[in-house]
Structure 1
C-alpha cells in the first residue's frame, strides 16, 4: 500500500507539472496571437516591396496607377500603410519576377540534420522556410521531430493545437495511403505551408521498427509522399529528430540535399564527424537494401552559434573552413539573444516588428547573409537557374 501511495503521489506530481507547463505555453501562445492581432501581418515599405519584387519604385507606382496592381492600402493620414507579402507576390506575378524553379527542375528537398541536439536545427529550418517564402518561392516545411520545435515557432502549442492524426504519423505507419496532403496546412506567410508535429509522432519510431523488420521499403514511404507533394513547391525543408531512428532514416531516404548545423567547439565538431561517418554507413546500407538510391545534390555544413571575438570559436571556424572548403557555407550563423527572445514569443527573428535595435539589425543581417548563401546552393541545383546566376555574375 505504501509503495502504491508513493507511486500515485509521483504521478500526481508529474501531472501537476504537465498542467503547469501547458498553462505557460498557452499563455505564450495567447501573447503571440495578441501581438499578431495588434500588428497584423508584416508590412513592407514601398522601397522594400519594390526591391523584393525586382522592380523600381516608379515601376510599381505606374502599375498601380494603370490598374495592373491593386491600389495600396492607406492610413488615415493618407500615407501608404505598406505591403503584405501576399501583395508583394502579386507584384512579382505581374512583373514576372517569381523565382520559381522551371517545371523540368527538380524540387529541392532539404533536410537540416545532425544527430546532436542543441545545434540550432529547428531554428535554421524555420528561418530558412520563411526566408525562401519572403523571396517568392513556394515552400513546404515538414516537422518530423516529435519535440515539434518548428511547429512551435509557427505559433502552435503542438500537444494542444495539433491532433496526432494531422501529423505524418498515419501516413508513415501506412494507416493512410492517400499521400501527405491531409497534413499540409497554410501558415501566415504567403506561399509557405507547414506539416506539423507533436509528441504523438514519436510512436512512429516503435511501429516503423516493427514494420521495417519484414519490409525495408517502409522507409521509402516518406520519400514517396514528399515526391508527390513536391510538384506544388520549389523547396521542401525537413526538420528531422536529433537522433538516428526510423524517422531519421526515412528523412535521409526522402531528402535530396542536406544542411548540417555545427557549432564551432571541439565537442560539437567531434559529434558532427561521427554524424558524417554514420551518414556514410547509413547511405551505403540504404542503397543496398532499398530500391531507391540515396542521391544528394549537396551536403553542406553551416557553422552555428558562433560567438565573434571568442578565440576558440574563431580557431575552430578557420579549421572547418580550410578542411571543408566548398562544402561549408561561407557565412557563419552568429549566436544572438534575438533567437531566444523570439522563441519565447513563439515566433522567429524574421517576424519581429520592432527589431530596430543594433542587436536586432545585426542578427537579421547575419541571418539574411547565411540564407543568401543557402539560396545560392539551392539555385545551383536547378539547370534553369544556372544561366541566371551567370548573368547575375554570381556563378
Structure 2
C-alpha cells in the first residue's frame, strides 16, 4: 500500500516497531522464565515467627510436634537445626490450633476490586502484595487478572505469551456467547499456598469487542456475567481480588458490577489526583446508568489509598493533606510509599514478600515491609468488618 510522502510511517513500519519490541520482551521473559521451570516460593519462617503467625507459643508448636499433631520439622543434615517452616507448614499449624482466619460459611466472600481508570497508579502492585499479605495471614485468596497487559499474571510466575491460552485459561471463553457455565475451568494454582488465580494475556482484549457485540444483539444484561461467574467459585475463597484494566471499557464495567468493595489507588500528584476525581465522577455516573438496566449496586466500602507517596516531595505532602481534607472518611490511613524495593523486586517479576536472604535485612526492605503490612492490615480489617462471624473478635481486639 502506498504511503503519502508527508506521512512515511505506515502500518508496515509500525508492525516492524512492534516486532522489535516483542523480541525485547521475549528476551526479558526468557531471562526470568527459564524454560521448563516453575516459580517457587522460597520464603521460610523460624519457630518464633511461626508461633507469632499462629497466635500460639513456641512451646505449643514443639508440644504438637512431639505428640504427633504436627509432623516433625525438617532439619539440616549437617547441623541438625530446623531449616525453617514454609507457609504451608504454618497453615497446618493454624489448622491444628484452630487459628485459621477463614470466614464462616454463612459470611459472604469479599470481592474486592483495586480500580482506577488511570494507568501507572500502582494498581497491580497493590493487588499482588495484598493477595500475598492475606495469604501470609492464612486466608484463601483468588486473584482474577482482568487486564490484558497481564502484569499480575507475570508476577505470579506465568508467562502470558507461553503459559496462558486465551481460549482456555483466561476470562475470555467465559465472556463469549455460550461459554462455560462456571469459572472453575480457569482457576490455576500458584506457588503461594492459599492463592489461586485466573490469569490473563493480550487475547483478553478481544473480550471488549465480544461484550460490545453481545450488548447490541442480546437482551440480557451481560455486564453481570462476571458477577455470576464469581458466584460459582466464591465458596472456595475468603477474598477474591479483581485487577481490572486501567480504562473505562466493558470489562471494567463488569468489574464494577461484580465487586462488593473497591480500593482506589491514587498517587498524590496533581495529574493523578485529578484523574482519580474524574474516575469517581465517572463511576457514579456510570453506575447510575447501569442501575437502570441491571439494578442498583452497592459496596461494603470504597476506600482511597495514597500510593507512590514520596515524603521528600513537598507537593506530595500538600496534595495528600488536601486528599485527607476532601475525603475525610474515605482515605485509608495507611500510605503506600514510593520504594525502590518494590521496583527492584518487580524488575525480577517478584514482590517484596518474596524476597529472601540478605535482601530482607536492609533498612530499605524493613521500611517497605512496614508500609505494605500497614496497608494490608487496614484493608484486612475492613474486610473482616463485613463478616458477622468476625465481629466478636474485632470487638475483643478493640477495633469496633
Do they fold alike, i.e. is TM over 0.5? Answer: yes
1:393 and 2:394 correspond: no
Query: The residue matched to 1:161 in structure 2 has which SS?
Result: coil
Which ranges in structure 2 are unaligned for 5 or more consecutive residues? none
Q: 1:6 Cα deviation (Å)? A: 8.0
CA contact (8 A) 1:258 1:300 kept: yes
Q: 1:162 Cα deviation (Å)? A: 0.8
Which residue is equivalent to 2:73? 72
Q: 1:65 Cα deviation (Å)? A: 0.7
Query: The residue matched to 1:197 in structure 2 has which SS?
Result: coil
1:41 and 2:4 correspond: no
1:275 and 2:279 correspond: yes
Query: The residue matched to 1:157 in structure 2 has which SS?
Result: coil
Which residue among 280, 287, 303 is the counterpart of 1:300?
Answer: 303
Q: 1:210 Cα deviation (Å)? A: 1.1
Distance 1:301 1:218 in 2: 28
Which residue is equivalent to 2:289? 285
Distance 2:143 2:67 in 1: 37
Q: 1:240 Cα deviation (Å)? A: 0.2
Q: 1:155-195: CA deviations, max 9, x gaps? A: 22211211112100000123423211111001111111010
Query: The residue matched to 1:129 in structure 2 has which SS?
Result: helix
Distance 1:89 1:305 in 2: 32
Query: The residue matched to 2:366 in structure 1 has which SS?
Result: helix
1:20 and 2:17 correspond: no
Which residue is equivalent to 2:191? 188
Distance 1:33 1:312, change over 3 A: farther
Task: List, as ranges, runs of 4+ consecutive aligned residues in structure 1 with deviation greater than 3 Å.
Answer: 1-14, 31-34
Q: 1:198-231: CA deviations, max 9, x gaps? A: 0000000011111112335111110000012111
CA contact (8 A) 2:135 2:141 kept: yes
Distance 1:279 1:6, change over 3 A: closer
Q: More helix per residue: 1 or 2? A: 1
1:236 and 2:240 correspond: yes
Q: 1:99-147: CA deviations, max 9, x gaps? A: 0111111110000000000000001011111111110101000000000
Q: 1:32 Cα deviation (Å)? A: 12
In angstroms, what is the RMSD of aligned CA positions? 2.0
CA contact (8 A) 1:26 1:157 kept: no
Distance 1:7 1:330 in 2: 49
Q: 1:33 Cα deviation (Å)? A: 5.5
Distance 1:78 1:206, change over 3 A: same
1:62 and 2:67 correspond: no
Normalised by the size of structure 2, how large is the TM-score?
A: 0.93
Which residue is equivalent to 2:152? 150
CA contact (8 A) 2:42 2:356 kept: no
Which ranges in structure 1 are unaligned for 5 or more consecutive residues? none
Q: 1:89 Cα deviation (Å)? A: 0.5
Larger CA deviation: 158-167 vs 207-216: 207-216
Q: 1:308 Cα deviation (Å)? A: 1.4
Q: How many pairs are equivalent? A: 391
Q: 1:12 Cα deviation (Å)? A: 4.3
Which residue among 197, 200, 214 is the counterpart of 1:197?
Answer: 200
Distance 2:260 2:13 in 1: 49
Give 1:373-388 correspondences, 5 Å limit: 373-388=378-393
Which residue is equivalent to 1:264? 268
Q: 1:266 Cα deviation (Å)? A: 1.7
